[in-house]
Each structure stands twice: as structure tokens, then as C-alpha cells.
């Protein structure tokens, strides 16, 4: 079992550590991190998402229990954080972003690589769906929540337009949708183009994990307060446990889909809330520290979870 866990976890955390060492020894710098992030977000990861969904069998994606369980677990975590911090002195917009942070998994940069390593190509479709729910559904709800708070009398129209505009520009939403449309069509992909997309998509996993290491090196932990610890505990503690209860005892789905839902819920905080704070010109320090601490803690929590997954696969 230990060998199986090492086989699954070591490549992921070794690549993250590689990025950290590259930054510490100044082989790569902040500009490199920004370039690598943009490459992953706008080229490699969309190519991987399109490639996986364009080859997916659409009937295999009919897992409503999976969708309900993961989305309920995510929203319950954000809602619990909002309730726990209802009397805090943070500005309303910052409290909303922190609630998003508590439920926002690093699904694209870490979840997809992990699922690919542990489950093979069969795990890509459910991992991509969790990415869609995170980077699109949760992101959109957060924007809508903030905009309705800021608009006079809670006007829905302008807020919905802003949400729609943000989603239309999101390549991580457009790419898998185009892939699903291609899969549903009778068109055949020219082999040269298919190979090009596949090669570009294969760069997503190592580049994304190295980018996480660069981010960790560029943002050292300078202090931890109660609000950050609260976010981390909810993210890597409450969310995966609550999601596990839903997928194992409430909703029906194949075992692999249930395990990927739990694994995705257990992932550390992604960079989405950090970007959201920058968009609204709010203090992003809580999100940044939550990303760092949850990623470091996930070395232990994800390894334990992988040990359980490998045990059940026997």
C-alpha cells in the first residue's frame, strides 16, 4: 500500500517542490511564474479539457448524484464559513471572498493531475467536471453575490451581465463545452490536429504543478491568524468529510466517481479567490496564506486519502 501511495503522491509533490527549488535558486522568477500560469490557463489546460471531453462518451457523464454531491459539499462549506463569520469585522466583500476561499479547490492545477495519475484517463472526465463546478459555478456565484451586495436595491440585471461576461471569457469553461459539442457531433478530428491538441494538453500537468511551487516560494508564510486557520480547516477538513458522507451514503454513483469527488473536495485552496480579491481590489493576504498553508497541509491529508483510495482499489 505504501508503494502505491508513493507512486501516486510523489510525482505531484515532487513537481511542486521542483518549482519551489527553481524559485529559491533563481532559475525561474516571478515573471516566469506569471508566464507559466498564463500558459497553463489559456493554452495547456484548455487543450487538456477539450481533448478529454471531445473523446468522452456522453452517456458515461450521466452521473447526477456526483454533480449534486460535489456541488452541495462545496456550497455547504462556503455557507458554513459565512455563518461562522457573520459577526466578524471584515468588510462584506472580503467576507464573501473568504467564504469562497473555504470551498474553492485547486481542481485544475492539482485535481486533474492527481486524478490522471491515480485513475488514469478514466478519471479525467469526473475531474474536469469538478473543475467546471469550481472555476465556473462557484466563481460565478461569488461574483453574483458580491455584485448584488454592492448594487443599490439588489438589481439583478447588471450583476447577471457581469457574471455572464466573466464566464464567456473563461477558457476553462469554453474548452470543455466545445469538447462536449465535438463529442456529440459526427465530425472526426484530423489526426495531426488531434495530436497537436494532445501534446499541448500533456504540458498542463507538469507546468501547473511547477507553477504551484513557484507561487509557494514567492509567497512565504509571514503569519497565521484565526480567520486563515478557519478557512484551512473547513477546506481540507469539513468539505471532504461532508462530501464523503454525501457520495457514500446519500447519492448513487460508481466508486471511482465517488473517490474523485472526495479527492477533489480534499484539495487545497486554489488561486481563484486570490484573483477575485485582486479583481475587486480587496486584501488578498488571507486567500494567499490559505493557499500556502492548505497546500503544505495537503501533503499529509492527500497522502492519507490516497492510501485509502489505493486500499479500496484492491
The per-residue pLDDT for 221 is: 67
What CA–CA distance (Å, rounded) separates 73 from 67? 10
Share of the chain above pLDDT 90, in %: 25
Range 112-129 average pLDDT: 86
Judge whether 298 and 270 are in contact, CB under 8 Å.
no
pLDDT digits (tens, 9 = 90+) for 288-303: 788 888 888 888 899 8
Question: What is the spatial distance between Cα 105 and Cα 111, in angstroms, rounded to a whole number?
Answer: 8
Report, at the CATH architecture level, how domain 2-312 is classified. Up-down Bundle (1.20)
Residue 163 has pLDDT above 90, yes or no: no
Predicted pLDDT of residue 278: 63
Q: What is the pLDDT of residues 254-287, one digit of tens each?
A: 999 999 999 999 999 887 787 777 667 776 677 7
- Whether the pLDDT of residue 158 is over 70: the answer is no
Average pLDDT over residues 34-50: 85
CB atoms within 10 A of CB 40: 24
Tell me the mean pLDDT in the region 55-73. 85
> What's the farthest any 2 CA atoms get from each other in the chain?
58
Please report the pLDDT score of residue 110 as a whole number.
83
Contact yes or no for 113/209 (Cβ under 8 A):
yes
Residue 6 in this model has a pLDDT that exceeds 70? no
Give the span between the Cα atoms of 231 and 100, in whole angstroms.
9
pTM for the full model? 0.79
- Residue listed under C-alpha cell 466563481: 139
The predicted pLDDT at position 15 comes to 85
Rounded CA gap, 300 and 314, in Å?
A: 22
Q: Look at residue 79 and tell me whether its pLDDT is greater than 80.
A: yes
Amino acid at each position: 500500500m505504501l508503494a502505491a501511495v508513493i507512486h501516486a503522491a510523489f510525482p505531484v509533490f515532487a513537481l511542486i517542490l521542483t518549482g519551489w527549488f527553481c524559485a529559491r535558486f533563481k532559475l525561474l522568477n516571478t515573471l516566469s511564474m506569471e508566464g507559466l500560469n498564463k500558459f497553463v490557463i489559456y493554452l495547456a489546460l484548455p487543450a487538456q479539457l477539450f481533448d478529454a471531453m471531445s473523446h468522452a462518451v456522453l452517456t458515461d457523464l450521466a452521473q447526477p448524484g456526483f454533480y449534486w454531491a460535489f456541488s452541495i459539499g462545496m456550497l455547504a462549506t462556503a455557507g458554513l464559513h459565512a455563518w461562522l463569520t457573520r459577526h466578524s469585522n471584515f468588510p462584506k466583500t472580503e467576507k464573501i471572498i473568504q467564504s469562497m476561499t473555504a470551498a474553492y479547490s485547486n481542481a485544475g492545477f492539482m485535481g486533474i493531475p492527481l486524478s490522471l495519475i491515480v485513475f488514469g484517463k478514466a478519471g479525467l472526465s469526473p475531474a474536469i467536471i469538478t473543475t467546471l463546478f469550481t472555476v465556473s459555478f462557484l466563481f460565478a456565484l461569488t461574483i453574483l453575490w458580491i455584485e448584488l451586495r454592492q448594487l443599490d436595491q439588489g438589481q439583478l440585471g447588471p450583476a447577471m451581465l457581469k457574471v455572464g461576461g466573466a464566464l464567456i471569457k473563461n477558457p476553462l469553461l469554453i474548452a470543455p463545452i466545445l469538447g462536449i459539442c465535438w463529442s456529440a457531433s459526427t465530425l472526426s478530428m484530423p489526426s495531426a490536429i488531434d495530436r497537436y491538441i494532445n501534446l499541448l494538453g500533456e504540458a498542463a500537468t507538469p507546468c501547473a504543478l511547477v507553477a504551484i511551487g513557484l507561487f509557494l516560494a514567492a509567497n512565504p508564510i509571514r503569519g497565521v491568524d484565526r480567520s486563515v486557520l478557519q478557512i484551512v480547516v473547513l477546506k481540507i477538513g469539513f468539505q471532504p468529510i461532508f462530501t464523503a458522507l454525501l457520495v457514500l451514503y446519500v447519492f448513487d454513483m460508481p466508486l471511482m466517481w465517488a473517490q474523485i469527488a472526495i479527492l477533489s473536495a480534499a484539495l487545497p485552496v486554489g488561486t481563484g479567490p486570490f484573483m477575485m480579491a485582486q479583481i475587486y481590489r480587496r486584501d488578498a493576504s488571507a486567500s494567499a496564506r490559505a493557499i500556502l498553508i492548505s497546500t503544505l497541509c495537503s501533503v499529509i491529508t492527500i497522502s492519507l486519502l490516497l492510501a485509502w483510495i489505493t486500499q479500496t482499489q484492491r
